[in-house]
Amino acid sequence: MKLITRALLFFLLVVSVKAFTQTSNNFIIIDEIADNVQVLEKQFEGHDNVYKTKGIETLAIGQISKAIKGKDIKNLEIYVATKPGAMVFSSAAITSQNVNQFSVELKEWKNAVSNNVIIYSDNVFSGENGMLLKQKIEEITGLVFTTHK
């Protein structure tokens, strides 16, 4: 009986640790026209927590929403082409002028992401248009958007 109890406790410990590590994972989004896309694909090759958007399908924001639905993500990391005030996906550019058109999909992000959305860019939130985009997208999603170079 002691052996069964120990085995059961060990099994529960392993399952708990595995569940904990899965909930703290980051999820990577790579847009097909992101800078250095081949390098990024190679870097993240074989990882389960990576999704590459495809321009021939639905808009990238909708693809991202579907890819993260039902997941428990710490940080959502997005590699996308940018310019001041715009995230330029292969299927559409997201700007402060049109971000409300994507509000339904963007609101779903809060259900999957527990921490931040990190955009790999040094200029997306720069200038007046950049700050306005950041403000609007944070209002819609309820998430904090940050940048990383």
Q: What is d(CA 27, CA 15) in angstroms, rounded to the nearest whole number?
A: 21
Position 16 scores a pLDDT of 44
Specify if 2 maps to a domain.
Answer: no
User: How crowded is residue 68: how many other Cβ atoms within 10 Å of its Cβ?
Assistant: 20
Domain limits at 85?
24-148
Q: Tell me, what's the pLDDT at 89?
A: 94
- DSSP readout, 35-100? TTHHHHHHHTTT-TTEEE--TTSS-HHHHHHHHHTT--BS-EEEE-EEETTEEE-SS-EEETTTGG
Phi-psi region of 36 (alpha: psi -120 to 50; beta: other; left: phi over 0): left
Is the residue at 98 inside a domain? yes
* Gyration radius of the chain over CA positions: 18
Classify residue 7: in a domain, yes or no: no
pLDDT at 34: 95
| Residue 11 covered by a domain | no
CATH of the domain at 125: 3.40.50
Write out pLDDT tens, residues 26-57.
999 999 999 999 999 999 999 999 999 987 66
pLDDT for res 14: 44
Question: Is residue 77, in this structure, part of any structural domain at all?
Answer: yes
Can you tell me the distance from the alpha carbon of 138 to that of 132, in angstroms, rounded to the nearest whole number? 10
* Residue in this structure with the two tokens 């250095």, named with its chain if needed: 36
Confidence at residue 23, expressed as pLDDT on a 0 to 100 scale? 42
Distance CA 58, CA 62 (A): 7
The confidence band for 2, taking pLDDT boundaries of 50, 70 and 90, is low
Residues whose CB is less than 8 angstroms from the CB of residue 9 and which lie 6 or more positions away in sequence, other chains included: none
Mean pLDDT of the chain: 87
Give the Å distances, CA to CA, from 94 to 17, 41, 45, 102: 38, 23, 27, 8
Tell me whether residue 15 is in a domain. no
Please tell me the predicted confidence (pLDDT) of residue 1.
58
Tens digit of each residue's pLDDT (9 = 90 or more) over 49-89: 999 998 766 789 999 999 999 999 999 999 999 999 999 99
Locus of tokens 């209002």: 139
Q: Is residue 75 part of a domain?
A: yes
Domain count, the chain: 1
